[in-house]
Structure 1
């Protein structure tokens, strides 16, 4: 993807702060939607809106000559491989969008927002298992800290397995699916001339195509259509789709101007933004256990980011956005 010749750190920092706000406000939009839309129907409609919002940039890229994959002739075997990756990861993203909405609905905005911070743990586990990437003792220490904080919150402070919250486990499934999809899709990004927006559009097409038949089969055409005709629900679906899409675009642009580690550090406190907004706008009660878990998770994430930066200097690191986007 062609970029401007110079970078502007202040612009990158400003864009990262916009990402911080968007990541913090997205759960509020999801949980603040009017009654009448199930998690599945809402996930379908927000994905459709996100797809619509992504099309103008795709057209602009095409007109400017930045056509990415369409400028390259690939062997048939690679074409089939890219198609398979697109279909599989798109389906995973569709499922994760459904679970995202459902998790915030069931677990609450604060708990689910904290659970999403488990993404680096799942990504590290998959990279270690399938790519042979081992972690340093310092990285393992911060990983244990984050795991302990999440387990404490998942068991509602009891530390006993029987106290595990099913809704919290549901929230943990979202970063688990993200990590699987991103480890797979990263190869397509680094080995083909795909632009980030082409990746986004292709996955949204598949996600929407997966969610629609699911919604029709599980909830019925009338229910899905009723949600589509409800102006109040659609305003929230459109707002959520726009916020999700803008977060992706702003993130890719932020890390062009500043290091990924700097941008990631800025977005780490996103659950704190969610916590404040959930308390003010949704009337959620904030408990000391949640504050303690959030503090430990943020500390652990900052530690992992610093350790990852050291590893990157040695040419071993792969950085990711805490929201789940590979860079």
Structure 2
């Protein structure tokens, strides 16, 4: 489970900030979107350049925090509640059909992990919730207590890459028949009773990651954003995505590759054909990662990977 921001007091330090600013190139007159507003660290840095920024988040606490933190930029900053999968409609409602750049960083903020009542972490006991948007949707407890054995196995193995998923699920099924899971530590303790601690990670790390992804449909939301991104960007506009684990990074990598190839080819074709999904120029052949200085200051940046593409002008391509 990774975070997109380290915390010092009430101040949130965004990951890969110099690299994000380099690729997003914020400037006066540009309209940019921070699709995962969080504590507002990336947004604040872009606002300082004179850019206009639209921040989107489905977490009411994040929106309230960012609005207060960025009140001085109220003339160029708008905070909208929503999931970035619905970004086209949110932007349209705000009077923007296309923008100059979109940034999303897919991670759980430190302050979300630190608040026990959010249910993201097994470090503190709290309700087994894990919803980014606490006003709707099923909780992690709902999922753990009602999902079928096969569904849980699939979630833990595919989203958490947990090799002991079968063993863990069998124990969960046995336990929930006696009483339901209600708290984070209750579930974490049951997992730890099945999977011995090895290395630095807690035995429940992968399962908690998998549940968070499933509860918030994180991979589905990411795919939808990628599919809609070209229509939201002006020619020359950039899409920057920061991921924190291999599942997300693989989705982004494959989409960027497919969308930046001018032609596609198949064995049964006599020659390559124009790619109907060609919309972008790839700006990062390899993912951009944190340097030694940032790694020392923010250990959670160790898993961050940034990939960036730029929308091409089809009429001139």
Do the two structures share a fold, i.e. TM-score over 0.5?
Answer: no
Q: TM-score, normalised by structure 2?
A: 0.24
Which of the pair is proportionally richer in strand?
2
Which of the pair is proportionally richer in helix?
1
Higher relative contact order (CA 8 A, sep 6+): 1
